[in-house]
Amino acid sequence: MDTEASTEWNGLMDIEAVQKTLNRSRASIYRYANTDPAILNSPYDPTRLNPELRLHKDDVLLFHPNEVARFAKDVLKIKNVTIEVLEAAPTPTQELLQAILAELQSIHQLLKERS
């Protein structure tokens, strides 16, 4: 199983990306996920799909690609698991921050040359 999944959360996968990767229904991904309505962050369970830690119970469930691959191989017994996370296109905020960084670097270089 070779799958590419694009995410917007610094390389973490949301439910839709996991669903596409494992070729399972959304409901089954929720059944596999190590979550408990009474506990914000359940202890690690090697038989379940363990999401990243959340700060609030309403936070989106996010999964590290290595955890999804581990779950696919160890629990679902899928052979040849490869998960490639593609970098999302830069957001306007990221583009603005890059422009500010470039400007600061040019100012720094100019001040360095004058001294």
Q: Given this model, what pLDDT does residue 67 score?
A: 95
Over residues 58-114, the pLDDT tens digits come to 899 999 999 999 999 999 999 887 777 667 677 888 899 999 999 999 999 999 999
Instruction: For residue 11, tell me if it sits in a domain.
Output: yes
Beta strand ranges found along the chain (DSSP E): 2-6, 82-86
Instruction: For residue 104, tell me if it sits in a domain.
Output: no
Instruction: For residue 105, tell me if it sits in a domain.
Output: no
Instruction: For residue 94, tell me if it sits in a domain.
Output: no
78-110 in b/e form (b: 16+ CB < 10 A) is eeebebebeeeeeeeeeeeeeeeeeeeeeeeee
Over residues 23-50, the pLDDT tens digits come to 999 999 999 999 998 899 999 999 999 9
Instruction: For residue 108, tell me if it sits in a domain.
Output: no
Residue 13's domain comprises: 2-89
Tokens of 87: 């970098």
Instruction: For residue 115, tell me if it sits in a domain.
Output: no
| Number of domains, the chain | 1
Is residue 7 pLDDT above 80, yes or no? no
What is the rounded radius of gyration, in angstroms, for the C-alpha atoms of the chain? 20
